[in-house]
Amino acid sequence: MSNGEDEPEDAPEETDAESPTLPGDVTEESLSEYLDEVESKLEAAETEADLDDVEALLSDAESSLSEADLPDPEDEDEENLREALESRIEDLRSSLSDARGPYAEDVIDDVEAAIDDIESAEWTETGLEEVEAAIEAFAAHVAETLGVDVEPETDDVDALVLTLESITEAIEDADLDADADAETIATLVEGAETLSADLEDAERWEDLGTNEQLLAEGFFDVLGHYKDYPVEWSALKAHEEAGNVDMILLALDSLQSDFMERHCMEAFERMGKRAATEAALDELLGRAEKREKVAIRILGKMAADEATETLLEYVDEDSDPQLQKATFKALGEIGASEAVQPLANKLEMEDDNVRPYAARALGLIGDARAVDPLAETLSSDESADVRSAAAWALRQIGTREALEAVAEHDDERVFIVQTEAEKAKETLDAGTDTGTDADADAPTA
């Protein structure tokens, strides 16, 4: 802290007599007079050392007040002398804090806050250009103020951060003194405040409306002259046809209507494996973990092995048949061999509306270990739908053992079972074995 003028060499040193003297007998009047003198000393302070002296005087006043025997107010309307003096000391401390600095550390703190802002924000293309301009201006300001070379790097966010880090190093190396270099520090503080304001004004994604964000990302670039309405749906269909998974994810994240969410999910389902990018799988797995049946169904269409562990947790959810149906089918489409025994166990569950899904899933997986439990189900289950599903599943597995198990039921009265048995016999007669023999670790139903 300084007024910027050099002190004359023959200036007399301050003496202890110039400092306020703490009263020996502390009363409201004596301490108030003491604080008046401290306030005058604060107003006259020119250096950090002067302010340190004031701080010490205030600490003395605070200690004396805590030990003083001041009268308590006799009624609620009477002023509390102790509280009034405590309040005045607090006000003087606040004024003391305001009088300190600025310090080089304040500038460095502001620059580090700017770095955090730059790294954490999502900038639009326009916003990033504005950030680059702000840092270039600040770098030039620091270079001129400190008389150093600061070459700004503005290729990307990392380069911008490196530029600001080099500026903080330059400020630290300058070893600025709060008194001797007060003017320089004040100039740097002004530049840092301008940088913060410029960053605040730079365009971020959150500043844009939904359609502005989509427009900036090029979501609508695929639209031709003819389009359906709403235009978001029309663009979505074009992106589905082109296989632009990232754009569908963008729409799913940005367009919060149930209508557009449904169409985004349907697009993924139709695309199947074509849509199985890492980002799409992350989105759908997150939804599957929340038991979203549509997401589970889509993961099956994508044959997403990554979903197997999550889906296995839902196999025994007998209280939610719809979740089980979606899960069984998805595990089958994925071809999850880990699910063979859990699904075989469900061939004996009570719900005969869900059992067919377990049987068909085993057929889709095509693992020969499922032959025995499926054959048992085909022979003994009372539900025609379940037996039909078991017959179909055995024929999909296609080993000789599986085909023979189906062919035995060529006299079955249930049409689908009879049809599957006839097809199995035809395959056997042709000498075609489409699968592999069951191994010794076949699951049990």
- pLDDT per residue, tens digit, the chain (445 aa), is 555 444 444 444 444 446 788 777 778 888 888 888 888 888 887 777 888 888 888 888 888 888 877 777 777 766 788 888 888 889 888 887 777 768 888 899 999 999 999 999 888 888 889 999 999 999 999 999 998 888 877 778 889 999 999 999 999 999 988 888 889 999 999 999 999 999 998 888 776 656 666 666 667 767 765 555 677 788 888 889 889 899 898 888 887 778 889 999 999 999 999 999 999 999 999 999 999 999 999 999 999 999 999 999 999 999 999 999 999 999 999 999 999 999 999 999 999 999 999 999 999 999 999 999 999 999 999 999 999 999 999 999 999 999 999 999 988 889 999 999 999 999 998 876 555 444 434 454 4
Would the pTM of this model clear 0.75, i.e. be above it?
no
Largest CA distance in the chain: 124
The pLDDT tens digits for 155-201 are 788 899 999 999 999 999 999 888 888 899 999 999 999 999 999 98
The pLDDT tens digits for 72-85 are 777 776 678 888 88
- Identify the pLDDT of residue 425: 93
- The values of phi and psi at residue 123, to 5°, are -90, 145
Assign 3-class secondary structure to the chain.
CCCCCCCCCCCCCCCHHHCCCCCCCCCHHHHHHHHHHHHHHHHHCCCHHHHHHHHHHHHHHHHHHHHCCCCCCCCCCCCCHHHHHHHHHHHHHHHHHHHCCCCHHHHHHHHHHHHHHHHHCCECHHHHHHHHHHHHHHHHHHHHHHCCCCCCCCCCHHHHHHHHHHHHHHHHHHCCCCCCCHHHHHHHHHHHHHHHHHHHHCCEHHHCCHHHHHHHCCHHHHCCCCCCCCHHHHHHHHHHHHCCHHHHHHHHHHCCCHHHHHHHHHHHHHHHHHHCCHHHHHHHHHHHCCCCHHHHHHHHHCCCHHHHHHHHCCCCCCCCHHHHHHHHHHHHHHCCHHHHHHHHHHHHCCCCCCHHHHHHHHHHHCCHHHHHHHHHHHHHCCCHHHHHHHHHHHHHHCCHHHHHHHHCCCCCCCHHHHHHHHHHHHHHHCCCCCCCCCCCCCCCC
